[in-house]
Structures are given as structure tokens and as C-alpha cells.
Amino acid sequence: MSLYPPKPQPGDAVAVLSPGAALPEVFPAPYELGLRRLQRDFALRPVEYATTRRWSSPQARADDVMAAFADPDIKAIVTSIGGSDQLKILRYLDPQVILDNPKPFFGTSDNTNLHHYLFNLGLVSYYGGTVMTMLGRPGGINDHSAYAFTMAMFTSEWYDLRPADAYTDMERDWSDPAWAEQPPEMLPGTGWTWHGPRTSVEGRLWGGQLEIVDFQLRANRYLLPEEEYDGAVLFLETSEEMPSSEYVWRSLMCLAERDLLQRFSALLMGRPKGWSLDRRHSPVRRRAYVQAQHEAVLEIYRDYKIDVPIIFDIDLGHTDPQIVVPHGGLVRIDPEQRSVAVRY
């Protein structure tokens, strides 16, 4: 069973780190907006580190992660954003320092690497809550995101996830001076789509961004023996790079071929992002992209005869709202009641 770290209180100091990409250096406006909201809306005191706003070596970024865990005055760690090479910092981390000073860690995307590292140490972490995307959202933090972040940051309670009434997969261009003047264009919520048996499931969550899970498979340095994942619940989502359905199919095939996909008792699949600044798809193309990804997932589960509950379009990861889920923490899935609850 994973250990839930102690939670901060309003007024506490939290580290703000960039263990992946130091995008606050390139786009300071959404970052600083997120910092102000972290203080104003959640009464937390952000503490920046040497690499938070500066592109730095893997060693330097790892040093900041270690400093944040070692500092007893820091009660939680929140990441600025994701990145693409966080995998490189893991070799420089000291697991004993982290085990001696467990604290909540928040991040998405490339931070999947650190979530897996903490899972291997038996610690719960929190997938969600990045400063630049969730907290720095133009027009204000999405209410759905803000409530989940509050619950995850300050409580250890069970929380019923629910489909968002409205969502978007379109982001603003941070290089546009007017990026923050209007909230994002929201679309009517589509609800969740359920497949598989009506068997209730409870287990630990494991997963994150599919492309980073794929990195982990290729590096093969930070995965536990396959049997350690028995009964866990897999959750996956894809990034703004919008990987093809063929890529999703191949990645899941590799998970199955190493006898890992079969270990999980259910799958929560995040809502795919079907629009980006360099691929501004029409609504029709976006729906087709999402449907193709769903079909790729279902095909793999059919081919390998893995009969477990599958829920599509959970609002986590790279779309808005960005709910928080406890990586390594408990989840309960009841297909009969169409309910998903997580323990923060």
C-alpha cells in the first residue's frame, strides 16, 4: 500500500519547480498569473528555485527537486509545467532523502517520470495542478479544476469524479499579448463512455501521459517487476503533440507484450486533445481523432482478451478542466453506478 504524504495548511510554503522545461523563462505571463492565484486563491506561499525560471542541466534540476524535498519548511511541490526530458534527472535523485521527507508532488505531462519514481518508493503523488496551464488559465481557474486541486492539496478525503459540464482542448497562444483577455472557448461536455464488464474495482492508480510511459518502457530503468502492478488501475492520456491512433495502438501493444497491460484491473483514459496551435482541426476532424484513439484502445483490449472496465474521456491531463488524480492512491470504479471516486 502506498503512503499518503502529510498535507499542507493554508499559509504554508510550497516549492514551485521546473524539473522538465523551464517555460517560465520563455512565457513569464501565464506563470506569474498562476503564482498569484496560488497565493490569492489557495493561501499558499510559492518558493522558487534556481532552475524554476532558467533552462538548466538535468543535474541542476534534480538538485532543486532534492532541495525542495529536504527543506522541512516546504510542505508540497507544484510544477510549473511539463517538458520532454525529465527522464534525465531521475538518475541524480536520492531516494532516501525523499523517503525521509515525503510531501505532495503535483504535475502532469513529463512529470509522469517523477510520478513513477515516487510510486516505486511507495509514495502517493498528484497528477494535475500545474502552474502555467491549470492555475494560469486565462479568464480564471476552471471551477472543476480548482475544487479538485483544493481537495487534493488540503484533504485526504474520498472525492467523486464527475464529467465536466463543459470542456475545451484549445489553448491560447502565450506569445500573443492578448492571450489572457478572454477565457478559452468551451464546448458542451460529452460525458464519459464506458466499456467492459460491470464489475466494481478498487486499486492503486498508475500511469500518466502515454508518451512518457512509452519513454519509461524504452529506457527500462524505472519500472518495477510486472507483478508489482497486479490489481492496479491504469490511467493514460495523450499530449498536445496529438499522437496518432497507430502510435497509441503500438504503445499499448508493447505494454501487453511485456505482460503489463494484463495486470491492471481497469483503464481510465483521459480526454484526448484534438486541437493544437499548429494543428487547428475542425470540430469534425477533432471528433474523428478522438474516435480513432478510442477504437485503437478497444482493439488492443479485444486482441489480448483483457476484459476490464474502460472509461473514456476523463477530464485529466492536457485538456481543460484539469482534474487531479492521486498517482499511487486509491480509486474506486463502479460501472453499475457509473461512478469513479479517488482518495486524496
CATH number at 191 reads: 3.50.30.60
How many domains is the chain partitioned into structurally? 2
Is 89 inside any structural domain? yes
We report the CATH number of the domain holding residue 20 as: 3.40.50.10740
The pLDDT of residue 326: 98
Do residues 289 and 181 share a domain? Answer: yes
Tell me: the pLDDT tens digits for 138-157?
999 999 999 999 999 999 99
Res 44 pLDDT > 80: yes
Same domain, 206 and 91: no
Predicted confidence band of residue 82 (pLDDT cuts 50, 70, 90): very high
Share of the chain above pLDDT 90, in %: 98
> Pairing mode, if any, of strands 45-48 and 158-161?
unpaired
Nearby residues of 25 by Cβ (< 8 Å), 6 or more positions away:
53, 54, 55
Summarize pLDDT for 260-298 with one digit per residue, the tens.
999 999 999 999 999 999 999 999 999 999 999 999 999
- Residue 202 corresponds to which amino acid? E
Which residue type sits at 79?
Answer: T
Residues 180 and 281 in one domain: yes
- Are 242 and 325 in a shared domain? yes
Same domain, 66 and 184: no
Choosing from 139, 157, 175, the residue where a domain stops is 157
Instruction: Express as a percent the part of the chain with pLDDT over 70.
Output: 100
- Within a domain: 3: no
The answer on 218 and 186 residing in a single domain is yes
Closest C-alpha to 271, from 329, 195, 234, 323 = 323
**What is the reported pLDDT for 331?**
98
Whether residue 8 lies inside any domain: the answer is no
Average pLDDT over residues 30-55: 98
User: At which of 100, 126, 157 does a domain end?
Assistant: 157
Q: What is the pLDDT of residue 158?
A: 98
Is residue 7 domain-resident? no
Q: Is the pLDDT of residue 302 over 90?
A: yes
- Structural domain contains residue 57: yes
- Mark whether 106 and 183 lie in a shared domain: no
Does some domain include residue 59?
yes
Q: Domain check: are 119 and 170 in the same one?
A: no
Residues 6+ apart with CB under 8 A from 132: 23, 24, 27, 30, 31, 34, 80, 81
Helix 245-257, helix 283-303: angle, nearest 10? 20
What cell does 139 get? 479568464
**Please, which pLDDT band fits residue 182 given cuts at 50, 70 and 90?**
confident
Q: What does the pLDDT look like over 94-132, one tens digit per residue?
A: 999 999 999 999 999 999 999 999 999 999 999 999 999
Q: Grid coordinates representing 216?
A: 519509461
Is the pLDDT confidence value at 192 over 90? yes
Taking 80 as the threshold, does the pLDDT of residue 1 lie above it?
Answer: no
310: containing domain:
161-343
Out of 157, 172, 198, a domain closes at 157
What pLDDT was estimated at residue 292?
98
Whether 258 shows a pLDDT value over 90: the answer reads: yes
Q: Is residue 6 part of a domain?
A: no
Q: Which three cell numbers stand for residue 46?
A: 510559492
Residue type present at position 19: P
Q: Are residues 295 and 188 in the same domain?
A: yes
Residue 1, judged by CB atoms within 10 A of its CB (0-12, 13-18, 19+), counts as exposed
In a domain, 2, yes or no: no
